[in-house]
Structure 1
Amino acid sequence: MADPELEAIRQRRMQELMAQRGAGSHQGPEQQKAQEEAKSEAEEQRQLMLTRILTSEARARLARIALVKPEKARGVEDVILRAAQTGQIVEKVSEERLISLLEQINTQTSKETKVTVSSSGVEFARTSS
Structure 2
Amino acid sequence: MDDAELERIRKARLEQLKAQGGGSGSKGGLGPDEQAQQRQQQEAEARKSILNQILHPEAADRLGRIRLVKEERATEIENRLIMLAQTGQLRQKVTEEQLKELLNAVAENKEEEKIVVSRRKGWEDDDDLLDL
Q: TM-score, normalised by structure 2?
A: 0.69
Structure 1 counterpart SS, 2:116: strand
Structure 1 counterpart SS, 2:88: coil
Structure 2 counterparts to residues 12-91 of structure 1, below 5 A:
30-91=31-92
Segments ≥4 residues shifted beyond 6 Å:
none
- Aligned-residue offset at 1:31: 2.0
- Aligned-residue offset at 1:62: 0.4
Larger Rg computed on CA atoms: 2
CA distance in 1, matches of 2:32, 2:105: 41
Higher relative contact order (CA 8 A, sep 6+): 2
One-letter amino acid of the counterpart of residue 107, structure 2: N
Q: TM-score, normalised by structure 1?
A: 0.70
Bigger helix fraction? 2
CA distance in 2, matches of 1:60, 1:54: 9
| Aligned-residue CA RMSD (Å) | 2.3
Q: In structure 2, what is the equivalent of residue 93 of structure 1?
A: 94
Aligned residues: 102
Q: Percent identity?
A: 30
Gaps of 5+ in 2: 19-28, 126-132
Gaps of 5+ in 1: 13-27, 122-129
Bigger strand fraction? 1
